[in-house]
Structure 1
Amino acid sequence: MLLFASITNAWITGQWNLEFMSYSFPTTLVTLALALKIGLAPLHAWMPEVIQGLDLTTGLILSTWQKLAPFCLLLQINPSNTSLLLILGLTSTLVGGWGGLNQNQLRKILAYSS
């Protein structure tokens, strides 16, 4: 999805840089692909199940270090789509809080909170 959004943006603008993401379709696709990678709320269904099956060290790496690079990319394209990022962030906070309330396994609680 990220590759498709990047190629679409390069095809429309003729530039490969993130600074030239002025069209809404590729910007939205990049944002949704990075939200899937980070594990934000509407796209987070894989995160609790995967972290539950991992050992603690691998789960720590997956829930923290894996999110640094996509988060930096989201910060670079932030001025283009602030409303989408705000909606994803609020939804992630609400769904993560409500989803973690009913869990009795520590790894799932941590996955919902991340």
Structure 2
Amino acid sequence: MSSQALEHGGNRGNKHLPGRIKAKLQALYRRAKEADLRLPLWVLGLTFGFWFAIFWADAPQIGSLSPVAVLLKIYGAGISVAATLAVVAAAVWTIVRRMGYGDLFTPDSDENAD
């Protein structure tokens, strides 16, 4: 850094909290882009969109059966919830692993060998 820049306070962007937060978010964005998170994020988005559409459509007219009630009668609540949890858990675990945080959640095999 030049002496003139140091006289004027140096790198002000990283001294203040908003500048540090912005730099941290940009670094996280670059890391996520390098990890190629498109598929897991699409899976999460489609799951959200599916359930949003189901609950939005759950406004039956008077005297008729709602679409959610019909789905629950056909497939059952447990199966639909379990399937949703499995898909979302797989997508989140893929994101965690691709971002490099998988080691935090898995035990080391060397420690358990004794």
Q: TM-score, normalised by structure 1?
A: 0.27
Task: Name the structure where helix makes up a greater proportion of residues.
Answer: 1
Q: Which has the higher contact order (CA 8 A, sep 6+)?
A: 1
The structure whose Rg is larger is 2
Q: TM-score, normalised by structure 2?
A: 0.27
